């Protein structure tokens, strides 16, 4: 794999990449609309959640194309 594109983002970086606030990203993750992952380190889940780039793209791409009335 020879790409410089990240495979995952912190909540802060996901907010920066999408243009949404950190609070919007957190609400989406708490609602289950945007999955988070806790990679294992020494067999234990990390305390720092990450959002896969593919999940972030799918979340934005799956949004309606028009505002609700």
19's enclosing H/E stretch is none
Model confidence pLDDT, tens digit, residues 25-67: 999 999 999 999 999 999 999 999 999 999 999 999 998 888 8
Determine, yes or no, domain membership for 69: no
Q: Is the pLDDT of residue 18 over 80?
A: yes
Domain that holds residue 22: 8-61
Q: For tokens 């606030």, name the residue.
A: 21
Determine, yes or no, domain membership for 66: no
* Total number of domains constituting the chain: 1
Name the region of 37 (left: φ>0; alpha: ψ -120 to 50; beta: rest): beta
pLDDT, position 67: 83
In sequence order, which residues have a C-beta less than 8 Å from that of residue 39 and are 6 or more positions away?
45, 46, 50
Name the region of 43 (left: φ>0; alpha: ψ -120 to 50; beta: rest): left
Report the alpha-carbon distance of residue 3 to residue 12 in Å, rounded.
Answer: 22
Determine, yes or no, domain membership for 2: no
Q: Is the pLDDT of residue 2 over 70?
A: no
Determine, yes or no, domain membership for 49: yes
pLDDT, position 1: 53
């Amino acid at each position: 794999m020879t790409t410089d594109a990240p495979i995952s983002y912190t909540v802060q970086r996901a907010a920066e990449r999408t243009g949404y606030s950190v609070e919007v990203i957190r609400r989406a993750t708490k609602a289950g609309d945007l999955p988070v992952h806790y990679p294992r380190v020494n067999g234990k889940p990390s305390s720092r959640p990450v959002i896969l780039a593919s999940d972030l793209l799918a979340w934005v791409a799956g949004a309606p194309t028009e505002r609700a009335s």
